[in-house]
Structure 1
Amino acid sequence: MKEHELFRASSVMAVGTIISRITGFIGGVIMIATLGTALLADAFNVANTMPNILYNLLVGGALTAIFVPQLVRAFDDTDGGHLFASRLVTTISGILLALVVIGVIFAPQLVYIYAPSFSTPGFETEREIAIAFTRYCLPQIFFLGLFTMLGQVANARGSFAPLMWAPIANNLVVIVVFSAFLLKWPNVSVDSITDTQIQILGWGTTAGIIIQALILIPVVKKSGIRIRPKWGVAGLGKSFSLAGWTLVYVLISQIGYLITVNVATTAAVESAKAGITTGVGFTPFKNAYLIMLLPYSIVTISIVTALLPHMSKLAINKKIDDVKDQLLRAIKTVGVLTIPSSVAFLLFGPLITEVLFFGIDKNDGIYIGYVLSALSLGLVAFSINLVLIRGFNAFEDTRTQVWSILIINFISVGLSYLFLAILPSDWVTVGLGFAFSASYLIGLFITLRLLKKHTGVIHIRDFIGQHGRLLSASLIAMLPIFAISQYFGWVGSDQSSLVRASELLFVIVAGALGYFFAAKALRISEVSGITALILRRNKAAE
């Protein structure tokens, strides 16, 4: 896949991802305006995050890793892969349905695992609210699995865009539900929220996931794959063998995230005991993390999704050098957006979140920005790591990558507990951002070393020069703007919302233009390539 073909294949997905992330962020802003950033929001977010964690832990990661390469192989079967796809979808759907039932029964135990601090004497109400939200949100597991399976079938057939566009419907449902709730009940708290209100928010959130999955059914039909209920595991042996190591990989990853949730909610409870309610807890971390993921999602996921089926074919055909070239091209292209975004989040994190989270106290918004700045340090390494992991997947090696995620999470968990022990409770969540960044910066070198068994050595110097120029262009563009913002005291000012929004708009526009011209002056070919592609597309549309 040539560079311009890679850009073209990912452009539609990038647009879908941008709209999806923007609508998702709008939904997140409305959620915070509805629930705040303290313990009520943590109770909801722990419950709403749990289906994703459990799904990824038990099934999701394995599906993403094995489905595309195995489907590509299955297309050569006499039936064109229909039987393989039907058996896998049916079998996994049955497993997911069983997981939902088990999860609903053991919801109290799940809440205790993920947020043991809610069992602290005096916080029984938060615990009961979290359990109720969990039971209403757990059916999402089944529909997350259905969405992933149908989306991967479409991807294997070369249809990438629907997987990126379907989440927009989910986000719109969430926006409508929470907006209506906020208008009807503008001031809810742990002490005042009713069972009916909990049901509305819980089932409303789940409804978005259901719609997101069902949208893909006609897409798969159009792709030519006929999926029918087909029980049995015949022909799935290799898939489940590959899935075994992927499950270990995801298990380690989700244990790390479990520790993050535990540490964050513990900090929130300790802060509440001390009378501190500003910013702390899992909710600020989650929302800062979602903002950090925006540039990562726009370019990294779009490019990797377009790249994986083609890279799998190259790996099957033993074209090792071509696989390596594809990986390096993807890393360089991803850096065009993730590097300036990382610099922007580092310098302007508090300004960004103070303006965007307009429905909450100013100090709460600024605190989320501090977490975002801490997370930004690991954004580039995090994105590169995803590209490299897809390299393992192309070679159907789900075992070797386990060592990478093990070391990454060992570092993250160790630092998380260290920061919980030494930092004031109201700064622990910021410390979690630093723990995330440090773990992926170190883990990147581990992943590169492990991948060489398949691709040969990929040296840091193969892309560090280009990344260095991208970093230089970002600093040239943004440091003067940062100096201006500091001189005029834009963060935490008493200006109106309109004025602060204008300040952020200036930062975004001036920073983007400055970065573009600086990158052009430094002759960074990937920036020029993206620009040329956009101009060609616009010219073709005229």
Structure 2
Amino acid sequence: MKSNELFRASGVMAIGTILSRITGFFRAILAVAVLGTALLADSYNVANTMPNILYNLLVGGALTAIFVPQLVRSFSDEDGGHGFASRLVTTISGILLLLVLVGVIFAPYLVKLYAPEFATDGFEREFSIAVAFTRYCLPQIFFLGLFTMLGQVANARGSFAPLMWAPIANNLVVIVIFSGVLFLQESISVENITDAQIQLLGWGTTLGIVIQALILIPVVKKSGIRLRPIFGVAGLGKSFSLAGWTLVYVLISQLGYLITVNVATSAAVRSAQAGITTGVGFTPFTSAYYIMLLPYSIVTISIVTALLPHLSKLAIDKNVEEVKKQLIRAIRMCGVVTVPSSVALLLFGSLMTEVLYFGISLEDSRYIGYVLSALSLGLVAFSINLVLIRGFNAFEDTKTQVVSILIINIISSVLSYVFLATLKSEFVTIGLGVAFAVSYILGLFVTIALLKKHTGPLEMSKFAGQHARLYLASAIAMVPFFLLAFFFNWMNDDAAPLIGVARLLVVLIGSGVGFLLVAHALKITEITAMKEFAISLLGKRRAARAK
């Protein structure tokens, strides 16, 4: 698979991902505008994150990695897979409904688990709000599972577009709800938020997930699969037995995320106790994380999704050398976007967040920018690690990659607790960004070493040199604009919003054009491939309009 072919194969997925990420990002901006960045926002974000954590921890990872491939194989059964699909959906749905019920009953204990310092004296109001949000958000677990199962059935039948558009519908629903709340009451705080507003925000967020799942029901019907309730686990034994190492992998990932939530909310409570009003905690971390994920999600995930089927075929054919070439090619292509993005986020993080996060104080928005700059240090390693993990998947090795994620999470967790113990509370969230970056940079060497088991030595020189030239091109193009912004104090003065937008456009457009020119001069071949890919996409759109 050549570079241009890989770009084209990932093009449709990239467009869907771009729209989903843009609407999701705008949704996150509105949430900050309504709830701020302090404890009220943390109460909502902890509650809204919990369904995803519990779903992935107990079912989601295994469902995607193990059960769905079994589902695809069942299409060759005598009944076309209808019985297996119905039994799988029925069984998993029952498990998820039970999980929702247990979660709602024990919601106070879940909040204490994820945000233990919410339960300290003097924060009873914050704790009760977090519990209420949690109970309204937990039903998302059931609909997340339904969406995953229906979506993968649709994919297996060759229908990809609905799976891309469904999350966009989810984001639009939540955007409308948050916009309405912001319009009716500009300022909401822990003290003045009403029970009705808590219900509206909680149930409204869950409604988005409900719609996201239900959109796929007619799609599955159209695909020819007839789903009906069938109880029992006959034929599912192999699926459950294969899920073991995948569940361990997900468990480690989610426990690591639990520690991040724990440390971030602890820092927020301690800051509040010290009278610090600038938002410090889980919300600034997630707000910065959303921005960091944009280049990663749009490019890396799209390329990796297109690459995996080809890698699997090569692994089955025992064409190890070609597997290595494809992995390196994917890393090089991802680097064209992730390397300049990481440098831009590092240098201009606070300038970006001042413009993007409206409705909050400049101190709060700048703080998110500082966290973003810290996270950006790990963006490239994070993306490369994802590509290499797909190498393990191609060889159907779910066991070895557990070692990699375990080491990454141990490093991140240790650093997180060290920063909580040693840094001032207002700097802990920035420390979490550093912990993320360091863990993936060190973890990358572990992943490369472990992958030798299947591919032999992976020559880092084949992408390290290209990445070095990308960093050089980024520095040459962007540092002058950083010095310009620093000299005129653009990142610290209280300029009007329109002036802030104009400054950001000058910096980003100038840096972007400069990067492309320097990268072309340095003869980075992937720049040309990406240019041809963009031209081909524009050509297809113009042809479609002409028709």
> Paired residue for 1:10?
10
Residues 392 and 79 (structure 1), Cα distance of their counterparts in 2 relative to 1, 3 Å cut: farther
> Paired residue for 2:312?
312
Distance, in Å, in 2 between the alignment partners of 1:267 and 1:353 is 21
> Paired residue for 2:181?
181
Distance, in Å, in 2 between the alignment partners of 1:395 and 1:238 is 19
Distance, in Å, in 1 between the alignment partners of 2:388 and 2:85 is 26
> Paired residue for 2:521?
521
5 Å matches for 1:459-470? 459-470=459-470
Check conservation: 2:362, 2:494, Cα contact below 8 A.
Answer: no
Which structure 2 residue ranges, 5 or more long, are not aligned? none
TM-score by length of 1: 0.96
SS in 2 for 1:397: coil
Aligned residue pairs total: 542
TM-score by length of 2: 0.95
Distance, in Å, in 2 between the alignment partners of 1:312 and 1:149 is 22
> Paired residue for 1:251?
251
Deviation at 1:492, TM superposition (A): 2.1
> Paired residue for 2:480?
480
Deviation at 1:359, TM superposition (A): 1.0
Distance, in Å, in 1 between the alignment partners of 2:50 and 2:169 is 21
Matched, 1:116 2:116: yes
User: Cα deviation per residue 1:30-80 (whole Å; 9 max; x = unaligned)?
Assistant: 111111111111111110110111111111122232355445544555555
5 Å matches for 1:291-440? 291-440=291-440
Q: Which amino acid aligns with 2:283?
A: T
Q: Which amino acid aligns with 1:373?
A: S
Distance, in Å, in 2 between the alignment partners of 1:72 and 1:308 is 16
> Paired residue for 2:208?
208
> Paired residue for 1:290?
290
SS in 2 for 1:532: helix
Deviates more, 1:467-476 or 1:366-375: 467-476
Percent identical:
71
Residues 267 and 261 (structure 1), Cα distance of their counterparts in 2 relative to 1, 3 Å cut: same
Check conservation: 1:346, 1:377, Cα contact below 8 A.
Answer: yes
User: Cα deviation per residue 1:211-230 (whole Å; 9 max; x = unaligned)?
Assistant: 11122223334444444433
Deviation at 1:21, TM superposition (A): 1.3
Distance, in Å, in 1 between the alignment partners of 2:67 and 2:304 is 15
Residues 236 and 251 (structure 1), Cα distance of their counterparts in 2 relative to 1, 3 Å cut: same
> Paired residue for 1:143?
143
Q: Which amino acid aligns with 1:201?
A: L
Q: Which amino acid aligns with 1:523?
A: K
Residues 155 and 410 (structure 1), Cα distance of their counterparts in 2 relative to 1, 3 Å cut: same
Distance, in Å, in 2 between the alignment partners of 1:120 and 1:265 is 12
> Paired residue for 1:281?
281
Deviation at 1:191, TM superposition (A): 1.5
5 Å matches for 1:143-162? 143-162=143-162
Which structure 1 residue ranges, 5 or more long, are not aligned? none
CA RMSD of aligned residues (A): 1.8
5 Å matches for 1:78-93? 78-93=78-93
Distance, in Å, in 2 between the alignment partners of 1:30 and 1:334 is 30
Q: Which amino acid aligns with 1:344?
A: A
Distance, in Å, in 2 between the alignment partners of 1:204 and 1:264 is 25
Q: Which amino acid aligns with 2:312?
A: S
Residues 516 and 319 (structure 1), Cα distance of their counterparts in 2 relative to 1, 3 Å cut: same
Check conservation: 2:72, 2:153, Cα contact below 8 A.
Answer: no
SS in 2 for 1:278: coil
Distance, in Å, in 2 between the alignment partners of 1:239 and 1:401 is 20
Q: Which amino acid aligns with 1:486?
A: F
Deviates more, 1:407-416 or 1:240-249: 240-249
Distance, in Å, in 1 between the alignment partners of 2:451 and 2:84 is 29
Check conservation: 2:58, 2:247, Cα contact below 8 A.
Answer: yes
Residues 306 and 77 (structure 1), Cα distance of their counterparts in 2 relative to 1, 3 Å cut: farther
Check conservation: 2:34, 2:182, Cα contact below 8 A.
Answer: yes
Q: Which amino acid aligns with 2:130?
A: A
Check conservation: 2:68, 2:149, Cα contact below 8 A.
Answer: no
5 Å matches for 1:58-137? 58-67=58-67, 69-71=69-71, 73-137=73-137
User: Cα deviation per residue 1:222-270 (whole Å; 9 max; x = unaligned)?
Assistant: 4444444333333333332332111111111111111111111111111
Deviation at 1:154, TM superposition (A): 3.2
5 Å matches for 1:164-179? 164-179=164-179
Deviates more, 1:312-321 or 1:110-119: 312-321
Q: Which amino acid aligns with 2:155?
A: N
Distance, in Å, in 1 between the alignment partners of 2:378 and 2:17 is 21
Distance, in Å, in 1 between the alignment partners of 2:219 and 2:459 is 40
Check conservation: 1:68, 1:155, Cα contact below 8 A.
Answer: no
Check conservation: 1:243, 1:398, Cα contact below 8 A.
Answer: no
Q: Which amino acid aligns with 1:386?
A: L
